[in-house]
Copies of this chain bind each other. A is one copy, B any other.
Amino acid sequence: MEGSVRVRVRYCECDPMGYVHHSVHPVWMEIARTETLRASGVSYKHMESQGVFLVVAHLSIDYKRPARYDDEALIKCRVTGTGRAKLEHAYELWRNVGEDGVGGELFATARTVLACVGADGRPRPLPDWLTAQRHG
């Protein structure tokens, strides 16, 4: 399970230094996770309608360089581990990578751990189809 998404940097995502504010990276990472899931055949929206929620339990980001207004960011995401009720992802955030996937600059790397919870907010096992797919 691996995927990526391209996002154009929005004006309001940039701060007075002219850089993307550091609170925006987690938003883009969430989009990349969602699109990675969608590419594997499931929408997160559908998961939620089935009473399965993924909440962020841990987040860490290393900011290497600034990204700027109107840059095109490429957010790469892959599943790096699964537990009974946990899912780990690693991310690479690139700017201005060519259409052919060549060039560009790595501006951040990151990691998240998601916990699987039910509609009641209590931990529950990851759905079989999600882990099966992973190890499939």
Contact = CB atoms under 8 A, between A and B. Distances in A.
Interface of A: 8, 10-12, 14-19, 21-24, 26-27, 30-31, 34, 43-45, 48, 53, 55-63, 66, 69-70, 121
B26 A15 contact: no
A38 to B, nearest CB: 9
A27 B15 contact: no
Contacts of A62: 57-58
Given A16-B16, A19-B55, A121-B66, A34 B61 contact: no
When all copies of this chain in the complex are counted, the total is 4
Task: Determine the main DSSP class of A at the interface with B.
Answer: mixed
A63 B56 contact: yes
Given A10-B31, A21-B12, A30-B12, A70 B44 contact: yes
A30 B69 CA distance: 13
Contact of A15 (B11, B22, B57, B58): B11
B22 A26 contact: yes
